[in-house]
Amino acid sequence: MDTSNLTSLPEDTLEDNEQRAPQQPRPLSAFASRPDRPPTQTSSQKYSALDWKGFFDQEEDIRIPDSDDVFHVYTAGTEGPVVFCLHGGGYSGLSFALSASKIKEKARVVAMDLRGHGKSTTENENDLSVETMCNDVLAVVKAIYGDSPPAIVLVGHSMGGSVAVHIAAKRALSSLAGLVVVDVVEGTALASLIHMQKILSSRVHHFSSIEKAIEWSVRGGSLRNIESARMSVPTTLKYDDSKKCYIYRARLEETEQYWKSWYEGLSEKFLSCPVPKLLLLAGTDRLDRALTIGQMQGKFQMVVVRHTGHAIQEDVPDEFATLVTNFISRNRIGPRGVEGHIYFEFNNDQLLFRSSHDSRTPSAIPDQPLNQLGE
């Protein structure tokens, strides 16, 4: 591909002009000129890729038995419950890199590349049905921890948030101890789907270098944190030998048939999840009726994170990490489950309780009528 047709960014022109401009003689009087400007970074330096090793402790390929599927995961930390991170569509596990470097001080972190994303390889890259992605996550958890996984807090951003909610609502993960959903609300998500193909088609699709892709993601506003963009953007790309340029790794425009199923019924499923729940929203997002009532009833905690874009975990990683670790501490989630809490809920007009003194997680604790408390 002739890369000369690729649109240059304004900074390129500025750099070229600065290099061509002749140096002016220094005035004799210090009062006749402004102070010298300190040296600035070139575009390639400012937007160069960062190594994940500065944030995660290790990476690993998880091979799923009886299939050709291999999922790439990044891990950090050695103690506490596992914060299992699921990225949004078009992102990768490294979307949580900067926040993982903080969370690992109080918990373990696992961030996987979902199918069709990052360094994971699967038989059907475009099968992004919520059922398939849920099965992928459960298969990875089993491959890593066997039949006795530690307490897990599922953290899902956007599409990954939908996957996390579906897993929790189905009670498919016996050791699930908490759920954190990042910037996805059913009503808003469904309403935005009619514009999604236009958004995907209008973005830049070809980059002459990884640095150009990082620069575009920041200048275009999709990411607001340069350091996080330098970390996460490279794994969202792949090099196309035929076009001699970088293109997006995930072919989201080819998965439209699954988009609606990610979000339909999400609010009710979220509220039905039998574990402590935290909903993080970027800006003032409108809750639908079910979530509004649920919040008023105290069924989940909600935090609106100001001055951030859609990718909260990337734009404000320190604040995101603090919110997650505070959620874990507030709900006393340890490596074996929720410690010393009693949960009350109504079921068919009967008040039930769940005790976690035996270190089992809420989803694994049988419901008991309130009149059995003294038995």
The active-site residue, picked from 157, 310, 356, 363, is 310
Taking residue 103's Cβ as centre, other Cβ atoms within 10 Å add up to 26
In angstroms and rounded to an integer, the radius of gyration of the C-alpha atoms of the chain is 24
Strand 70-76 versus strand 58-63 pairing type: antiparallel
Amino acid letter, 225? N
Beta-sheet pairing, 337-338 with 333-334? antiparallel
Angle at 347 between CA 345 and CA 348, to 5 degrees: 150
Which ranges in the chain belong to alpha helices (H)?
10-20, 43-46, 97-103, 130-145, 159-169, 186-192, 196-202, 210-219, 226-232, 256-263, 266-272, 289-296, 312-315, 317-330
Residue 355 annotated among the catalytic residues of the structure? no
Element spanning 268, H or E: helix 266-272
Q: H-helix or E-strand containing 293?
A: helix 289-296
Q: Which of 95, 101, 158, 228 is catalytic?
A: 158
Amino acid at 216: W
Question: Are 133 and 163 spatial neighbours (Cβ–Cβ below 8 Å)?
Answer: yes
Q: Is 4 a catalytic residue?
A: no
- Alpha-carbon separation of residue 154 from 35, 247, 372 (angstroms): 53, 30, 31
Q: How far apart are CA 280 and CA 289, in angstroms?
A: 17
Question: What is the distance between the alpha carbons of residues 311 and 155, in angstroms, rounded to a whole number?
Answer: 13
Assigned token pair, 218: 């920041």
Active-site option among 183, 209, 232, 356: 183
Q: Which region, left, alpha or beta, applies to residue 118 given φ > 0 means left and ψ of -120 to 50 means alpha?
A: left
CA atoms within 13 A on the CB side of 52: 22
**What phi and psi, each to the nearest 5 degrees, are found at residue 79?**
-130, 160
Q: In the annotation, is 209 catalytic?
A: no
Torsion sign, CA atoms 174, 178, 183, 185: positive
User: Looking at the annotation, which residues are catalytic?
Assistant: 158, 183, 310
